[in-house]
Amino acid sequence: GLFPCAPLSPTLAVNMDVLEFALELFVRMGPNEQAWAATMTKYLKARGHEFATADSLRQQFANALSHYQVLVRLVNAEMAKIIDSFRDPCWCPQCHQIP
């Protein structure tokens, strides 16, 4: 799937696999979004794709990566809460309001 660089009127959507790759890459090296974006901008320009400004891709990618990280953390926290609720020693339908 694709993840937008902004919640409203995004001008770029980044493949979620690329975002996951970047997260893994940045765990193993300093988060250098500028170098990554400069390389990608040059790569895309050589293939006929240009951005409005030299810094467009870096800003848009940084926004998408930041929002994606927040979303991943929120989902992980919510899943942890759900899993922890099933670890309750008194797990019965009445205690957990299950019909």
In whole angstroms, give the CA distance from residue 26 to residue 45.
24
Q: Which residue positions in the chain have pLDDT lower than 50? A: none
pTM beyond 0.85: the answer is: no
| Extents of the domains making up the chain | 2-85
pLDDT value for 98 = 64
pLDDT value for 52 = 82
Q: What is the DSSP string of 25-84?
A: HHHHS---HHHHHHHHHHHHHTTT---SSTTHHHHHHHHHHHHHHHHHHHHHHHHHHHHH
